[in-house]
Structure 1
Amino acid sequence: MDPRTLQIIREITPAVAEHGETITKVFYDRMFAANPEVRRFFNAAHQHSGGQQRALASAIYAYFQNIDNPAVLGPAVELIVHKHASLGVKPEHYPIVGKHLLDAIAEVMGDAATDEVLAAVGEAYAFLADLMIAEEQKLYAQQAAAPGGWAGKRTFAVDRVVEESDVVCSFYLKPADGGATPEFLPGQYLTLHLDHPTTPTSPRNYSLSDRPGQDHLRISVKREPNLSPEAPAGLISNQLHDGVRAGDTLEIGPPCGTFTLDPATRDSATGDERPVVLLAGGIGVTPLLSMAKAWVARGVKAPLYLLQADRNARTRAFADEIAALAEGNDHITTRVRYSEPIDGDLDEPGADAGFVDRDLLSEWAPCDEADFYLCGPAAFMRSVAGELAALGVPAERVHYEFFGPKAEIAPATAGCPFAA
């Protein structure tokens, strides 16, 4: 970029930080009014909650703050590239975003948004857009060329539906064309393109909850209770629970996601014997269970710890699968912590009551050496991440996935304009 552009971006970064959420709110309002065709990329519940606006504001600030060295945002860019690929974002969508972002900045910043400032922001945006487009095209090509892979949508048949708890159902999926089932990295997700019968909805990402290398793919979906028109969380989860049965077909996007644990990198051949701790809150167990099952299938002998936090046995999914992980595997330790236990819950081996707090983590997990993988609701994520930091676990050993705009837990490193 032109040196003058870099200087201008540095100068306006404090103002962008101050007005970031106002800018992004105006941006989305303007874009949806002028280009309603892109609304299908966006989850209305995340828009209503403000999470998507905060995520985009964080992303803009992070980019401007690191404008002299955007390479430090590499992990965040990779995450966004996978998110965009999961949604089917194409090069022609970037000019739409750029136009309305510049217009929003001009509207909110008023006289401070001079022609020179807007030109600099436009150049910075074009630089990042070109980078993202190139990376997304690479990913699309990789997905299409992978064994059993594809780009865009592919039709899968529902082989069976299994109730895992009072609130979680698993859907076992097989290619409707009889072709190969794709490989994936444990922790990745599929994108489900399912139209609600009465309300336009965006595609939905669901973590793969079983290990790779089988004749099926499995997603496990929690029924979300909120069905209000103003914040329509739960539309697709309820539709899946109530309306999708064995024999139905679904349109699926290829596996995506950067929150992964490849057991091939941790087996005896690599000499990496560091322990791994998986901390799951509620339905956040899905990508972590895929990791744990792949770990066992690969025969990795490094220590693995899996803690599942849930309300009680009625809402907890996969109890039997998780118990089976440790059978005959002395290097695998599992535990469950119930926040609202019911009769019989505390009689389970390895079960107790409470939350995932500092005392539990310091007593149970090898905090001085382990890599931690976290997934669950926002409150769980923030709490556990804070407790690990207080215990001195460095940030580079803490990996996490949040089901929603990631900026809610890491405002300086993530977020994207298109997000499911």
Structure 2
Amino acid sequence: MNTSQKELVKATVPVLKASGNDLITYFYQRMLTNNPELKDIFNMANQASGKQQNALTGAVLAYAENIDDPTVLINTLKAIGNKHVSLNIAAEQYDIVGNHLINSIIEVLGAAATPELIEAWTCAYNELAQIMISIEADMYQKNSLKKGGWKGWRSFVIYKIVAESDEINSFYLKPEDNQEIADYFPGQYISVSTFIPELGHKQPRQYSLSSNSNNEYYRISVKKEMGQKTPDGIVSNALHDKKEGDLLDVSAPAGLFYADPEAKNPLVLVSGGVGLTPMMSMVETNKNALQRNQTVWIHSCRNENVHAFKDTIEELNNEKTWLTSFVFYETLPETETNAIEGRIDLQQIKEEILIKDAKYYICGPAVFIKVQYQSLVSLGVSRENILYEEFGPQLLSLN
């Protein structure tokens, strides 16, 4: 891109801030109408809620604001690349997206979409697409070369289903071909795709791996969204209707939210609801590691009945000196419990969680993450030592 084109792109920032979401909403409607096959890839629940539109609007705005040096967005682009690879996004699909995005700009802006502006945005999009294609090509290659790794979708069998709470089931998945599977870092996720009869097409979802890495199976632990059949919760309901022996399409493990099993830093884990799943992987991995990093796990949920892995964590907490756990219930049980009533209050346990050289991991709903992140910062924890994973499209930008 030349200097004048970059200035034209930057000049659209006020328009994107004022009405970018309208443009992106129009873009998605145009693309999914003309290319309905992409409904197998895009999360239609996030489309219905507007989360996907908000996420893309924010990404386009950030790119326009940093058009002089897009490399400052590299961590964000890598996170998006991980998600794309988990969905088996192909390089040629960037042409489809680009075509609909540029035509949406023309159709929405009308006379304001001058030939010079369209040329500038076409160049800008093509440069971004090449950056993403390069990032993803590297990831695909690493996945393919990895022992037990693969590219794209692979058929897995649900060989065991275990109820972990009143609303969370664990699904143990083995490859249908009985070949090796790729290892992963504790905290990473896989994508699962299955046909949804109510929609008439497949739907993918990302689920954190909830066990330590092994060469036999993957475990995901899925919350059934009660009373939500369409569109939000439709895949979790479909999974909870599955039986042992059913097949699912699965992508290779991905994600940047993980604890390095070779690092010796203490871990402080803060989870809300089903956000405990990646933390479970971290704890199981730590249990099997030689160094047994000091770990403090703070978990919050509505009540005892929806607390997944409750007995497992209590047993570890009682037996292992490296683990300390705190549980917060909004409603305490009538029987004796060590749980604390209410929602997580990190100030209340600050002496236990302010540990030298610790890494802090937060997972749960967006509001939960924001509250806990701000609490850690107010306690003096460095932002660079706080990692978080938001379920669904990335809308938070806290670091």
Band the TM-score falls in, shorter-chain normalisation: over 0.9
Q: Are 1:311 and 2:305 matched, yes or no?
A: no
Name the aligned partner's letter for residue 221 of structure 1: V
The reply to whether residue 406 of structure 1 matches residue 373 of structure 2 is: no
Match of 1:39 in 2: 39
Query: Contact between 2:160 and 2:173, CA under 8 Å: does it hold in 1?
Result: yes
- Are the structure 2 counterparts of residues 130 and 401 from structure 1 closer, same or farther at C-alpha, using a change threshold of 3 Å? same
CA contact under 8 A between 1:367 and 1:393: conserved in structure 2? no
Aligned partners of 1:361 and 1:367 also within 8 Å: no
Aligned mates of 1:64, 1:401 — CA distance in 2 = 25
Structure 2 distance, partners of 1:63, 1:193, is 30
Tell me, in whole angstroms, the C-alpha distance in 2 between the residues paired with 1:208 and 1:76.
Answer: 22
1:275 is matched with which residue: 266, 269, 272?
266
Aligned-residue offset at 1:114: 1.2
1:418 alignment counterpart:
none
Q: What are the equivalent positions in structure 2 for 1:350-369 lying under 5 Å apart?
A: 351-366=339-354, 369=357
> Partners of 1:40 and 1:214 in 2: how far apart?
29
CA displacement at 1:331 relative to structure 2 = 2.7
User: 1:327 Cα shift?
Assistant: 4.5
Distance 2:59 2:130 in 1: 16
Are 1:368 and 1:393, in contact at CA under 8 Å, matched by a contact in 2? no
Q: Output the amino acid matched with 1:353.
A: E
Deviation at 1:358, TM superposition (A): 4.4
Structure 2 partner of 1:416? none
In the other structure, the counterpart of 1:227 is: 228
CA-to-aligned-CA distance 1:194-238 (integer Å, 9 cap, x gap) = 101232342111110000125221011100124354xx1121211
Cα offset for 1:367?
A: 6.5
**Aligned twin of 1:126:** 126
Shift of 1:185: 1.0
Between the aligned partners of 1:300 and 1:319, the Cα distance in structure 2 is 24
Structure 1 position 322 matched with structure 2 position 313: yes
Contact 1:262–1:291 (Cα < 8 Å) also in 2: no
Q: What's the counterpart of residue 49 of structure 1?
A: 49
Could you tell me how far 1:189 is from its partner in structure 2? 1.0
- TM-score, normalization by structure 2: 0.94
Distance 1:130 1:178 in 2: 36
Closer/same/farther in 2, CA of residues 392 and 108 from structure 1, 3 Å limit: farther
- 1:248-295 per-residue CA deviation (whole Å, 9 max, x = no partner) reads 22221111111111211x13xxxxxx4221101010100111012112
Q: What do the CA deviations read for 1:27-81 (whole angstroms, capped 9, x no partner)?
A: 1111112222212221121111111111000001111111112111111111111
1:305 aligns to what SS in structure 2?
strand
For the Cα contact (< 8 Å) 1:30–1:100, is it kept in 2? yes
* Offset of residue 123 of structure 1: 0.5
**SS where residue 259 of structure 2 aligns?**
coil
211 and 138 in structure 1: CA distance in 2 versus 1, 3 angstrom threshold: same
Match of 2:252 in 1: 254
Structure 2 residue identity aligned to 1:245: K
Partner residue of 2:172?
Answer: 172
For 1:53 and 1:226, locate their aligned partners in 2 and report how far apart those are by CA, in whole Å. 25
* Contact map agreement 2:299 2:344 (CA 8 A) in 1: no
**SS of the counterpart of 2:252?**
strand
Instruction: Give the counterpart letter for 2:126 in structure 1.
Output: A
SS of the equivalent of 1:343 reads coil
SS at match of 1:314: helix
Alpha-carbon distance in structure 1 between the residues aligned to 2:173 and 2:165: 19
Aligned equivalents of 2:247, 2:384: Cα separation in 1? 41
The 5 Å alignment of 1:111-150 reads 111-150=111-150
Residues 290-305 of structure 1: pairs in structure 2 closer than 5 A: 290-305=281-296
2:261 maps to amino acid = P
Deviates more, 1:181-190 or 1:352-361: 352-361
Aligned to 2:337: 348
Name which of structure 1's ranges 123-132 and 391-400 shifts more when overlaid on structure 2.
391-400
Letter in 2 for 1:117: L
Q: Supply the distance in 2 between the matched residues of 1:95 and 1:86 (Cα, whole angstroms).
A: 19
Distance 1:25 1:383 in 2: 29
Cα deviations by residue, 1:82-114 (Å, 9 ceiling, x for unpaired)? 111111111111111112212222333333321
Contact 2:286 2:293 in 1 (8 A): no
Percentage of matched positions with identical amino acids: 37
In the alignment, what sits opposite 1:237?
A: 236
Is the Cα–Cα contact under 8 Å of residues 229 and 237 in structure 2 kept in the other structure? no
1:417 maps to what in 2?
none
**Alpha-carbon deviations, 1:118-175, whole Å to 9, x = none?**
1111111100101111121221121111111111122222221100000000011122
Aligned amino acid, residue 386 of structure 1: Q
Q: Residue 307 of structure 1: CA displacement?
A: 1.0
Q: How does 1:3-18 map to 2 (within 5 A)?
A: 3-18=3-18
Shift of 1:239: 1.7
Residue identity matched to 1:208 = L
- The match for 1:396 among 354, 376, 384 is 384
In the alignment, what sits opposite 1:28? 28
Partner in structure 2 of residue 70 of structure 1: 70
TM-superposed deviation, 1:365:
1.4
5+ residue gaps in structure 2?
none
- The amino acid that maps onto 1:157 is V
Q: How many residues align?
A: 398
Write the distance in 2 (CA, Å) between the matches of 1:110 and 1:340.
Answer: 55
Q: Letter of the 1:240 partner, please give it.
A: L
1:385 is aligned to 373
The one-letter amino acid paired with 1:217 is Y
Please name the residue that 2:154 is paired with. Answer: 154
CA distance in 1, matches of 2:90, 2:227: 31
Q: In 2, distance between residues paired with 1:159 and 1:34?
A: 38
Runs of 4+ in 1 over 6 A off after TM superposition: none
Q: Deviations over 1:335-370 (max 9, x none)?
A: 1111122222xx333x21111134235343116753
Q: Any gaps of 5 or more consecutive residues in structure 1? A: 268-273, 414-420
